[in-house]
Amino acid sequence: MGDTGTFLMQLWKKTASLALALALLGSASALAQTPKKGGVAQVIVTPEPPMLMQGLNQTGPTNMIAGNIYESMLRFDDKLQPMPSLAKSWKVSEDSKVFTFTLQDEVKWHDGKPFSADDVVFTLDKFLREVHPRWRPIVNNQVEKIEKTDDKTVVITMKQPFGPLLFAMEVASAPIIPKHLYEGTDYKNNPNNNTPIGTGPFKFKEWKKGSYIQLVRNPDYYLKDKPALDEVYYPFIPDAAARAVAYETGKVDVLTGGAVDIFDVPRLAKLPNTCMTTKGWEMFAPHAWITPNVRNGILGSKEFRQAMMYAIDRDFGKDVVWNGFGKIPTGPISSKTKFYSDNVKKYSYDPKKAKELVKASGYKGETIKFLGLPYGETWTRWAEAIKQNFADVGINMEIVTTDVPGWVQKTSNWDFDLTFNFLYQLGDPAIGVSRSYVSGNIAKGNPFGNVGGYSNPEADKLFADAAVAPTPEKRQELYTKVQQVLAEDLPVLWLLELEYPTIYRCNIKNLVTTGIGVNDGFRDAWKE
């Protein structure tokens, strides 16, 4: 190496040292930074939500926006540990039958009226019991009574021990709504549905249909130093490529999970002042799978379902179709959800074994119709990859395409051989997992029930017992057992624990601080 080379090497070392020092200094100063008041965030949510009244509507976009307007009793961190929200403290009796919530002081509704225990009792016992499809079975089957003992205390008494109740206290499952505006009204046609009134850190300001929703800071929020941002706008841009360009041109600051095609993510993540995180989905833990309709011929054969599982190259799906995002699941419970166990039968990509099992199952080459999921290009590519996997082991698969309403109708009415699906697990298997496997949930008209028709009394009993077992240890034992039973039977073919990256400007701090990420993230977020 000549003098020039030596000089360049020295220069490189000095530059690298300087960069390292600056980076350390930067991170140290970031830790020391105090939230700055003011600023505006432009956040992409797609598609435009049907409404913002979160008690009546739990679509993804509704939750992403309304979770900053409404609040529930609790928030959850990324380890799914409960944190205060409208309840400043809570107590669970030793037998897990009595839950006592003590409410925050000085909470006001956005219209200035005081919030009290009456609102909580009305919401949980009347409003949500009537309209909320996830809360209804909990309150009807498990709850004995919901009462207030004073204006700041609500007590929920269960018929039997029911630990999962705390997880149902998350804002999408149990948003607290104002009694004074809803009691005695036709809930679904209440005019306040279009101008939502919550207790959250942001107030609804304007909805220009087809363009944007505007939230403004709640100056009377009970946490005096929050929120920091003045305004949050949610512009609606229907085309994924246009959303990416809007981010690149600086029109928007945050691309929420699923806002851009997964193949665009690595490129966007490398842009200047751009950060990316896959955190903030721990509560939902979306779990993707293929549902076989076990009523249909060969799909009722366990050997054939196992053959399909061995035939699918799930690593290819993760690494190529989903660009490396996600994790290969071992069974029905996500590794992010409570009571997960990997002590189950494993399925690796093994075409040879798949061929043997196809032969043993008695499959005669009949065409199996695969109902695609109309949620964008990534799902279409995944279906094509699986079709190729199946062809390699002699399974004939034909992809049937449809739109979202068509998919819901066909799935609800069991009009498919195989179909993709993915469901949120919502922290506890009793809330978000068992619904897809128990025979009591085999009913037409519900696309998120047990649509495949799997029925196993042993699994039913294990799920039922695990939901009401008195201790976490006992629940873990029962859930481990049911994961083993299902991994053997394969009522569905688990493909991927989905991960949705959130892309945002690095000068927006504290955006994702909980297990539901941006859904309640603007309480703590601030702009540098």
Partner 1 sequence: MGMARFLASRLLKGVVVLFAIAVLNFFLIRAAPGDPAAVMAGEAGAADAQFLQQLREQFGLDRSIPYQLGVYLKGYATLDLGYSYRQQRSVAAVVGERLPATLLLTGAAFIISLALGSLLGILAAARAGRWSDSLITTAALVFYATPLFWIALMSQIVFALKLGWVPNVGYETIGAHYTGLARALDIASHLVLPALTLGLFFTALYARMMRASMLEIAGADFIKTARAKGLRPSVITRRHIARNAILPIVTLAGLQAGQLVGGAVLTETVFAWPGIGRLMFEALVQRDYAVLLGVFFVCSAMVVLFNIVTDLVYRVADPRIEAA
Q: How far is the CB of 520 from partner 1 (least distance, A)?
A: 18
Measured distance CA(189)–CA(212) in Å, rounded: 23
Of residues 36 and 188, the one with the C-beta less far from partner 1:
188
- Contact call for residue 48 and partner 1 (CB under 8 A): yes
- Contact call for residue 370 and partner 1 (CB under 8 A): no
Q: Is the CA virtual torsion 442, 445, 446, 451 positive or negative?
A: positive
Of residues 260 and 469, the one with the C-beta less far from partner 1:
260
Hey, what are 484's tokens? Answer: 């083993």
* Residues 119-158 close enough to bind partner 1 by CB under 8 A: 131, 133-134, 136-137
Measured distance CA(304)–CA(397) in Å, rounded: 14
Measured distance CA(324)–CA(317) in Å, rounded: 8
* Residues 248-277 close enough to bind partner 1 by CB under 8 A: 248-249, 251
Of 93-101, 105-113, 205-213, 341-349, which part binds partner 1 (CB under 8 A)?
205-213
Q: How far is the CB of 454 from partner 1 (least distance, A)?
A: 18
- Chosen residue from 183, 231, 261, 303 binding partner 1 by CB under 8 A: 231
Name the DSSP letter for residue 211.
Answer: T
- Chosen residue from 106, 111, 239, 488 binding partner 1 by CB under 8 A: 239
Q: How far is the CB of 410 from partner 1 (least distance, A)?
A: 7
Collapse the DSSP code of 434 into the 3-class scheme (helix H, G, I; strand E, B; otherwise coil) and give the result: helix
* Residues 384-443 close enough to bind partner 1 by CB under 8 A: 402-410, 412, 423-424, 443
Of residues 236 and 479, the one with the C-beta less far from partner 1:
236
- Chosen residue from 378, 448, 456, 476 binding partner 1 by CB under 8 A: 448
Q: How far is the CB of 423 from partner 1 (least distance, A)?
A: 7
Q: How far is the CB of 378 from partner 1 (least distance, A)?
A: 18
Q: How far is the CB of 249 from partner 1 (least distance, A)?
A: 6
Measured distance CA(457)–CA(454) in Å, rounded: 10
- Please state, as a whole number, how many other Cβ atoms lie within 10 Å of the Cβ of residue 483: 25
Q: Which of 96, 118, 114, 94 is nearest to 105 (CA)?
A: 114
Buried b (16+ CB within 10 A) or exposed e, 138-166: bbeebbeebebeeebebbbebeebbbbbb
Torsion over CA of 441, 444, 449 and 453, rounded to 10 degrees? Answer: 70
Output the CA angle 479-485-486, nearest 5 degrees: 90
- Chosen residue from 40, 83, 391, 506 binding partner 1 by CB under 8 A: 40
On the 0-12 / 13-18 / 19+ scale of CB atoms within 10 A, 398 is: exposed
Q: How far is the CB of 200 from partner 1 (least distance, A)?
A: 20
Name the DSSP letter for residue 230.
Answer: S
Of residues 52 and 393, the one with the C-beta less far from partner 1:
52
Residues at the contact surface with partner 1, assessed by CB under 8 A = 40, 42, 47-48, 50-51, 57-60, 131, 133-134, 136-137, 188-189, 193-194, 208-212, 214, 231, 233, 235-239, 241-242, 245-246, 248-249, 251, 402-410, 412, 423-424, 443, 445-449
